[in-house]
Amino acid sequence: MKRCTIRLDDSGGFTLVELVITLVLIGILSSLGIGLFANRSGFSPLLANQQLASAVRLAQQGALAGNPADDVAVAQVGDEFEFTVGGGTSAERVFSLPRESASLSTTPTITFQPDGTPASGANTELTFSGSGTSYTTCISSLGAVYQGGCQP
């Protein structure tokens, strides 16, 4: 009869040095990450730009669906950016976002036709800027909404 012997080997774990180095690296990475999010004002123009694109698409979808919420108004109200889709209608929706020292180049109202194109028939370019950064959104005469300046 054969005997089975099991030998325990102690080389299957981590050493104390490896654990300490891992903890130090996690601490350094987390301190860098907190620094990125501690000052939100750098993100404010980007967030406002993204909210603008969302509000414009909502108004455009309203126009395509034939409901009265076919326009979007952008305003700087106190310490907030305010995006109003379908203002003065039963389908009015208002979105607001803290400005946090960001500003907007112009405060337009954009109305869409039933085919989804802007009623003005022209390109509209909006720029949010603040904390040394700026983000531009173009609403083209064909109804496309994209980041960056309008093409001639």
Give 20-58 as a DSSP string: HHHHHHHHHHHHHHHHHHH-GGGTHHHHHHHHHHHHHHH
Q: Say whether pLDDT at 32 is over 60.
A: yes
Give the model's pLDDT for residue 24.
92
Percentage of residues of the chain with pLDDT beyond 70 = 86
Give the model's pLDDT for residue 21.
93
d(CA 62, CA 19) in angstroms, rounded, equals 57
* Residues 77-105, mean pLDDT to the nearest whole number: 85
Give the model's pLDDT for residue 23.
92
Give the model's pLDDT for residue 11.
63
Could you report the per-residue pLDDT of 34-79, keeping only the tens digit for each? Answer: 765 555 555 567 787 888 888 888 888 888 888 888 899 988 888 8
Q: Say whether pLDDT at 27 is over 80.
A: yes
Q: How many CB atoms lie within 10 A of CB 101?
A: 13
- What residues contact 45, with CB distance under 8 A and at least 6 apart? 102, 128, 129, 130, 131, 133, 134, 135
106-145: buried (b, 16+ CB within 10 Å) or exposed (e) per residue?
Answer: eebebebeeebbbeeeebbbbebbbeeeebbbbbbeebeb
Q: Which of 6-15, 52-61, 93-102 has the lowest mean pLDDT?
A: 6-15
- What residues contact 149, with CB distance under 8 A and at least 6 apart? 125, 136, 138
Block residue for tokens 């194109």: 117
- What average pLDDT is seen over the chain? 82
Q: Say whether pLDDT at 152 is over 80.
A: no
